[in-house]
Every structure is written in structure tokens, then in C-alpha cells.
Amino acid sequence: MLELFEKYQPTHVIDLAVLVSGLFANREHKVSILSDNMLINDNVLNMAHSKKMQKVISCLSTCIFLDKINYPLTEEKVHLGPPHDSNFGYTYVKCMVNMQNHMYKEEFSCNFTSAILTNIFRPHDNFDLKHVHVIPAL
């Protein structure tokens, strides 16, 4: 990653890096999903901080919301309880990068933030029923 940052010298980062799977794979590989994504988040944010990026936006997911929640969904409800079991590791890692962004801002005055994206799909998305997201599976 260092070589990439040094070659292109970005001033802004939109962090889309993630190891993601569908419902069944997320249930079967909770530790891998959590651990691999924590490493990704740490690497991106540490590098952005050390290279003094002007802005980082980490992309979250609508699956970070809780299992039992009152609608409408709002960002204030993100950390109010445990997630649904189907996305346990992924949900916590996405909540964690959101918290990391806040902490970088508090401790180092970094302009790091998060955005919650909705599930979208496109013609060449992953449609394998074991590894697919809900919308493409439909």
C-alpha cells in the first residue's frame, strides 16, 4: 500500500476496500471476515494519517444496523445493540471503522468520516446464491 500512496500521492481517499460475502459465507466465516477487514481498515487509516491525507471517507453498509430496530433507520441507531447473526463479523468491523474515523478526528484532527451506502448491483455482480447479497439474489 505504501508504494501505491507514494506513486500517486493522493490527497483524498474514498475507502471501498473490503472483504465481503453473502449471507451464508458471512455466517460461516465470521472471524475471517472480521479479522481481514480490521487489517484493511487499519492499513488504510494508518497510511492516510501518516501521509496526511486531507480527507478519508470510509464506506459502511446498511447491514451495520441492528437486528431489532425501529424504523426509519438513522445514523444515531448504528451502535445501539448487537447486529443480526448473519452479518456479525462484517457488521462489527464496519461499525469499528466508523468509530476509528471519529477517533482519528478527535485525537489527530484528521478529516476522516464515513458514509452508509445502500445495496446496489450491476450486470456483472456476484449472483452465486451462497455469496450473493439480497438485492442481486432477487
Question: How far is Cα of residue 66 from the mean position of the Cα atoms in its chain?
Answer: 15
Beta-bridge partner residues of 113? 57
Beta-bridge partner residues of 14? 57
**Selection from 2, 16, 27, 9 nearest residue 85 by Cα:** 27
Q: Which amino acid makes up residue 33?
A: I
Q: Report d(CA 99, CA 82) in Å as an integer.
A: 15
Q: Report d(CA 132, CA 138) in Å as an integer.
A: 10
CA distances from residue 130 to 27, 36, 46, 51, 88 in whole angstroms, order as listed: 11, 20, 33, 39, 17
Identified catalytic residue from 8, 90, 92, 104? 90
Q: Is 90 a catalytic residue?
A: yes
Which residues have a catalytic role annotated?
90
